[in-house]
Amino acid sequence: MGKKEIATTLADIYQALFACYGPQKWWPAEEPFEVIAGAILTQSTAWTNVEKGIANLKKAGALSSRSLRLLSREELAGLIHPCGYYNMKAVKLQAFVKWFGERFEDSLEKMFAEDTHSLRKELLGVHGIGEETADSILLYAGNKPVFVVDAYTRRIIDRLGLKPGGNKYADYRELFTAHLPPDTQMFNEYHALLVALGKYHCFKSSPACTGCCLKEICSFICRSDKLS
């Protein structure tokens, strides 16, 4: 498949998903720092659990970098207990706010004024921040035109027959950034729409292909379709 054909297919997929699910209004947060905290806390857990942890931080008046630095690791772990892996995530949050305070004096404006590529590289150097988390911070908190890749994205892209040449995070990310215009709003919606498809139809096992808005262009054949 040539570059132009890939670009057209990706655009068609986006339009079909948007027509089916509509705007997703991601990221569900009141302000950018909440997005960052949520991006770290959502690692290996359901978003409903993250919401409980965020609610606890808000109730304790601790949802800011300065407030988080005043908490002991045990206090923070207790507040984010619903998120799972709470001890490790407490370490990750504290590592971020330490770096954020030292590097940018707790200013999101200063942080997101940095060159996107350079900032991404710095974020990846902070303990506990991997590529998906870094890109979530850049896209959803910083409104930077980067594409977030998660397990839903990989699964759907593979089943649609668009699997890139490599299997690394960067290979899937490049599939979108090299073939679509750098549009922050579209990247935001596209990722969220892929998550919606993954939740409602494209399950890891036994996907519900009947009713899927991408069924006609998908190369994956469901067991249920084979038997029908």
The CA distance from 36 to 112, in Å, is 12
What pLDDT, on the 0 to 100 scale, is given for residue 221?
66
Place of tokens 């206090």: 75
Q: Among residues 50, 192, 173, 40, which one has the least CA distance to residue 116? A: 173
pLDDT 10s digit of each residue in the chain, 228 long? 889 999 999 999 999 999 999 999 999 899 999 999 999 999 999 999 999 999 999 999 999 999 999 999 999 999 999 999 999 999 999 999 999 999 999 999 999 999 999 999 999 999 999 999 999 999 999 999 999 999 999 999 999 999 999 999 999 999 999 999 999 999 999 999 999 999 999 999 889 998 999 999 998 865 445 434
Identity at 76, one-letter amino acid code: L
- If DSSP codes are grouped into helix, strand and coil, which group holds residue 163? coil
Q: How far is CA 37 from CA 56, 89, 121, 182, in A?
A: 12, 10, 19, 25
- The reported pTM is 0.94
What pLDDT, on the 0 to 100 scale, is given for residue 220?
86
The CA distance from 181 to 189, in Å, is 14
The CA distance from 161 to 147, in Å, is 19
Contact 14, 186 (CB under 8 A): yes
Place of tokens 């970098």: 65
Q: Which positions ≥6 away from 16 have C-beta within 8 Å? A: 213, 214, 217
Q: Among residues 149, 159, 131, which one has the least CA distance to residue 217? A: 159
Domains of the chain (ranges; CATH) run 1-228 (1.10.340.30)
Contact 161, 219 (CB under 8 A): yes
Residues belonging to the chain:
228
Contact 40, 92 (CB under 8 A): yes
The CA distance from 13 to 11, in Å, is 5
